[in-house]
Amino acid sequence: MTTKTITVVRDLLATNKQAAAAIRAELRSRGILGVNLLSSPGSGKTTLLEALAERFRDRFRMAVIEGDIETERDAERIRAKGVPAWQITTGGACHLEARMIGKVLGDVPAAIDLLFIENVGNLVCPASYDLGEDLRFVLLSSPEGDDKPAKYPQAFLSADVLVLTKADLLPYLPFDPDRAAAEALAIKPGLKVFIVSALRGDGIDALAAYVVEALERLRSGHA
């Protein structure tokens, strides 16, 4: 019996990174902007997508991939807005992985402009998985508290855009949007911050305009 030690140096997320790179290349070649939405459960990801679907109607073609542990509910809500939606049920897994998106991508019509991916509600695990998106949103709702960025730094560090949601509840809560934004910006300088109420429509135009600018950058080759 002999023993030997071998050097491996294998990145455990390498498979995901490769699958994500293939998706990013595919989306860019099709001129589609991919957006990955991260947040804890109940922060308003689906409601935000419903509000964006109304803003983009008749102007941009949008599609949505929904990730949840169980049920088709979110995909049904999006379809009710006239937007094609695919539901991935992970059956317990706490995040979406790039190869799950890759399997659905073949069904997504080529003639779309925006592909939103709503991740499983979880502010921890989805942060580690690149899905091949060009923009990552992290949502933080006012009832969750303005102290969350420092508690869940990876999610904020990995994002391009911070969307502070449920602004309609601000008069009733001790949530300070400036504090939340400052804490997030201390982790990720350059993070774009939007304050919205998807129910009332506040801030949705500005966020929609930002998404359109990102789409135009992608299509002009300056993503």
Q: Which is nearer to another protein, 76 or 147 (CB)?
A: 147
> Are 182 and 169 contacting, i.e. CB atoms less than 8 angstroms apart?
no
Mapped onto helix, strand or coil, the DSSP state of residue 42 is coil
| Min CB(28)–another protein separation in Å | 24
Least distance (Å) between residue 8 CB and another protein: 5
Which residues of this chain interact with another protein, rule CB under 8 A?
Answer: 1-13, 15, 93-95, 97, 124-125, 127-128, 150, 153-154, 157, 185-189
Q: Which is nearer to another protein, 80 or 124 (CB)?
A: 124
Looking at the Cβ atoms of 155 and 208, the one nearer to another protein is 155
Instruction: For the CB of residue 211, give the shortest distance to another protein in the complex, in Å.
Output: 25
Burial class from Cβ neighbours inside 10 Å (0-12, 13-18, 19+) for residue 209 reads exposed
CB of 200 to another protein, least distance (A): 32
The residue (of 38 and 114) whose beta carbon lies closer to another protein is 38
Apex CA 41: angle with CA 61 and CA 125, to 5°?
Answer: 90
The nearer residue to another protein, 10 or 222, going by C-beta atoms, is 10
- Identify the bridge partners of residue 197 per DSSP, sorted by sequence position: 202
**Where are the alpha helices (H) located in 58-199, listed in sequence order?**
73-79, 98-105, 148-151, 153-157, 177-187
* Cα 117 to Cα 21, 68, 168, 215, distances in angstroms: 16, 11, 25, 15
CB of 192 to another protein, least distance (A): 15
